[in-house]
Structure 1
Amino acid sequence: MEKKTNMLILLKKALDEADAVVIGAGAGLSSAAGMTYSGQRFTDHFQDFADRYGFQDMYSGGFYPFAALEEYWAYWSRFIELNRYCSPPYPVYDDLLELVKNKDYFVITTNVDHQFQKSGFERKRLFYMQGDFGLWQCGVPCHQKTYDNEELVHQMVRRQTACRIPPDLIPTCPLCGKPMRMNLRMDTTFVEDEGWHAAAQRYHQFLRRHQDHKVVFLELGVGWNTPGIIRYPFWQRTKVWPQAVYVSVNLEGTVIPNEIRSKTVSIQDDLRHVITQLRSLDQSSF
């Protein structure tokens, strides 16, 4: 307990002294906010799908081989509405914003649930590397453009019966007529549209601008599925940037390279608890 308290104090001090904060967020952050895919949250919203198709969590449902697009979009519209357009049970994202709102910050995330922007983080400071549940693209794709899906998703949810949507609601590409799909990085057909490239450019400009400053690389809830997006680049920049500090907050913990151990704060704990405790600390703690 004493070690964890000391780590929290070191983290708060690093954030207070930082010229810039780079937040790298993974699925653990949304889980801490209550955006879980199993248990009560699944049965409250998907019991009819569980009874009909046999899967027992939302993640498994995303891979289920539905026989018809009416079934596929009935499931996915309900999933998208719940995980993209509804607010999370706990204000973890709101509390995180309070910690960094007065800093020059940027967010790179593999999450696709849009919770940063919904909680008030500035859009120009966000890079959704892996896509967005709120966007669709041509499934081919025949062109590099994405489409907002909110209105049609809500219609699908309201009009579905017996785990099916009406055929007239099935989304098709406005150019080639082929079925649409989510704008998620699942394979080489992922569309990186103009907004994606603009966000990537802003992120790299931010990094170039701060490479000689006091920077905290704040890694939150990142696992090992895609370490090349957030974790490995954070390690590398912490190693070569003279004033950088690497922070890892993860329920499962992580491995820290020896080369950056002296510049690292690592906390193995639930993110919701850590962020709440950070907000309760002040300068008198040091």
Structure 2
Amino acid sequence: MDATEQIEAAAELIRNATGLLITAGAGMGVDSGLPDFRGEDGFWRAYPALRADGICFQDIANGEAFKGDPIRAWGFYGHRLNLYRRTVPHEGFNILRRWASTKAHGAFVFTSNVDGQFQKAGFEENRILECHGTIHRLQCAQPCSHETWSADDLHPEVNDEHCRLLSELPRCTKCGEVARPNILMFHDSEWNDYWVRTRRMRFEAWLLSVERMVVVELGAGRAIPTVRNVGERSGSPVIRINPREYGIDPKKGLGLGYGALDSLRKLDAKIGEQSNSQTFI
């Protein structure tokens, strides 16, 4: 199939589905202006202070960083928290919500993103599984317990030039030690996954309830294939949206080689055309 036929086939799948599984990686946020940290150059363009010190993404996105240099670690994560709070989700989120509102089983979101953009766009909290956790919750860096808590009261002041925290370090509400984001980091044996496990149970129950599901996969790369695997193993057709890595086994689904927002707009227009032609038959 050529690109036009792929769009038509994908739109037909979405239109006839009774439930949408929306799976998303870092590419989903690019159209909102968020960095995807694709390669070290992409990461260092966003954080030049870390380039100067030879600190790569794996070095700073690491639980040990909160023990070795928590002021630098919170400089990085404090900047990200502030960035995500300022960011306005792009139009594609609203398109997905509108599609979901027409489905008997609605939609469930499975994402490796920690930015909270789906919640900000109005998706129901109990229909979102953030498999790597979220920057909007905190945990003890030790950790001293299985508790997590909201980061709503945390307002980090960051020296962006040096990527260092200027305000006080956040502390564990139980033991007073340094707190960290409730995010799965690299080589991280101390991530508290309780919040994720409770949502995974809801996710599994929802999957069993949908008789005609379609997976809309957005901006998920091959480097860490967690998001891709969930869709491909679901047994439902996958619409893979990715400007570079859109290839997929035709038995499992089809690929669209565009960005997230561009693809969602094209699909939305085609779904509208198909629905209108159906009305006049």
TM over 0.5: yes
Q: SS where residue 183 of structure 1 aligns?
A: strand
Name the residue aligned to 1:191. 192
Name the residue aligned to 1:72. 73
Q: CA deviation at 1:190?
A: 0.9
Q: CA deviation at 1:179?
A: 1.4
Pick from 207, 223, 226 the counterpart of residue 225 of structure 1: 223
Q: SS where residue 191 of structure 2 aligns?
A: coil
CA distance in structure 1 between the partners assigned to 2:181 and 2:56 by the alignment: 15
The number of residues matched between the two structures is 265
CA distance in structure 1 between the partners assigned to 2:140 and 2:212 by the alignment: 42
Q: CA deviation at 1:12?
A: 1.0
Q: Is residue 2:256 matched to residue 1:267?
A: yes
Q: CA deviation at 1:10?
A: 1.0
Pick from 244, 248, 262 the counterpart of residue 256 of structure 1: 248
1:4-83 alignment, distance < 5 Å: 4-36=3-35, 50=48, 54=52, 59=57, 62-63=60-61, 68-83=69-84
Q: CA deviation at 1:101?
A: 2.7
Residues 6 and 256, structure 2, Cα contact 8 Å, conserved in 1: yes
Q: Is residue 2:233 matched to residue 1:236?
A: yes
Q: Residue 218 of structure 1 aligns to which amino acid in structure 2?
A: V
Q: Is residue 2:97 matched to residue 1:97?
A: yes
TM-score by length of 1: 0.79
CA distance in structure 2 between the partners assigned to 1:231 and 1:89 by the alignment: 22
Residues 33 and 272, structure 1, Cα contact 8 Å, conserved in 2: no
Residues 79 and 160, structure 2, Cα contact 8 Å, conserved in 1: no
Change (3 A) 1:179 1:252: same
Among the aligned pairs, what percent are the same residue?
A: 23
Name the residue aligned to 1:151. 153
Q: Residue 8 of structure 1 aligns to which amino acid in structure 2?
A: I
Name the residue aligned to 1:206. 206
1:169-180 alignment, distance < 5 Å: 169-180=168-179
Change (3 A) 1:137 1:233: same
Q: CA deviation at 1:27?
A: 0.9
Residues 49 and 162, structure 2, Cα contact 8 Å, conserved in 1: no
Pairwise CA RMSD of aligned residues?
A: 3.3
Write out per-residue CA displacement over residues 46-87 of structure 1, whole angstroms, 9 at most, x where no aligned residue.
7xx73686279995894597975334323421221102x122
Change (3 A) 1:17 1:174: same
Pick from 131, 134, 159 the counterpart of residue 132 of structure 1: 134
Name the residue aligned to 1:277. 266
Q: SS where residue 150 of structure 1 aligns?
A: coil
